[in-house]
């Protein structure tokens, strides 16, 4: 029994020593210390260098915007009437002074003729008054004082008749809608034989020879913007279509 007990304790001791040695070997295999290279004194180390030069730093900002014509107008009607001639269609190019639409001017033309007759009658009345002042014509009024001459014009009704004629002529000319500048027609809102009222628009006229770009920036981005800045614009649907725009100073802008 004594020998057996001694053998058992001896076997147990050697088992513990064996397990400890095995654990140390396994830990040594798993943990590898990093290799460090230490440059000794006087040893050359290779480095990369680059020369420092001054240049322009380009700032690029992207933002969404829209194109708008530099000039646009809404030719409209200034008196009521029935539209008899519409000479335009969407997409048509017109020149400055071209007639876009015409209203029925028969009554306006009669009013102009009536006003001319009233001027002629007032002129005759003035001549009769001048005869009482020993004047034979309208040019023979040098001897009359400005106050006397003004009184004769008022009494004859010539001054009022002339003002009425100007009003009738203006009313007649308002029956013709003309293009204020050359451009492209869009948004035609009337049709032939339609009755229009004052303030109704005839169409939208766009000057497509020059365009402006409208876009918005954050306040922090304004520092990099100057009046002479060049812009590159392209539509979102076709980025390959690009154009360059330069700032042009506008008087008062």
Residue 76 is predicted with a pLDDT of 93
Residue 252 is predicted with a pLDDT of 42
Residue pLDDT, tens place only, 178-208: 999 999 999 998 999 999 999 999 999 999 8
- Between 92 and 18, the higher pLDDT residue: 92
Residue 4 is predicted with a pLDDT of 47
Residue pLDDT, tens place only, 31-58: 455 555 555 666 777 888 888 888 876 6
Residue 3: pLDDT band (50, 70, 90) is very low
Distances (CA, A) of 143 to 124, 136, 149, 169: 20, 12, 10, 34
- Between 156 and 39, the higher pLDDT residue: 156
Residue 243 is predicted with a pLDDT of 61
Domain ranges of the chain: 106-174
Residue 150: pLDDT band (50, 70, 90) is confident
């Amino acid at each position: 029994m004594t020998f057996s007990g001694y053998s058992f304790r001896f076997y147990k001791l050697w088992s513990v020593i064996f397990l400890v040695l095995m654990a140390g070997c396994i830990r040594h295999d798993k943990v590898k210390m990093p290799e460090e290279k230490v440059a000794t004194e006087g040893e050359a180390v290779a480095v990369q260098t680059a020369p420092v030069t001054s240049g322009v730093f380009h700032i690029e900002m992207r933002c969404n915007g829209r194109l708008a014509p530099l000039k646009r107008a809404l030719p409209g009607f200034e008196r009521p009437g029935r539209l008899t001639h519409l000479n335009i269609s969407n997409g048509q190019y017109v020149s400055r002074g071209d007639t876009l639409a015409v209203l029925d001017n028969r009554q306006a033309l009669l009013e102009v003729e009536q006003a001319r007759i009233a001027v002629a009658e007032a002129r005759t009345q003035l001549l009769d008054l001048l005869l009482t002042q020993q004047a034979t014509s309208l040019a023979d009024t040098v001897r009359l004082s400005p106050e006397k001459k003004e009184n004769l014009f008022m009494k004859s009704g010539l001054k009022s008749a002339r003002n009425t004629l100007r009003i009738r002529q203006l009313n007649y000319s308002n029956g013709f809608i003309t293009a204020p500048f050359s451009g492209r027609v869009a948004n035609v809102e009337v049709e032939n034989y339609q009755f229009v009222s004052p303030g109704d628009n005839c169409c939208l006229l766009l000057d497509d020879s020059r365009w402006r770009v409208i876009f918005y920036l954050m306040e922090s981005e304004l520092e990099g913007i100057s009046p002479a800045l060049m812009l590159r614009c392209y539509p979102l649907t076709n980025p390959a279509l690009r154009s360059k725009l330069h700032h042009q100073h506008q008087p008062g802008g």
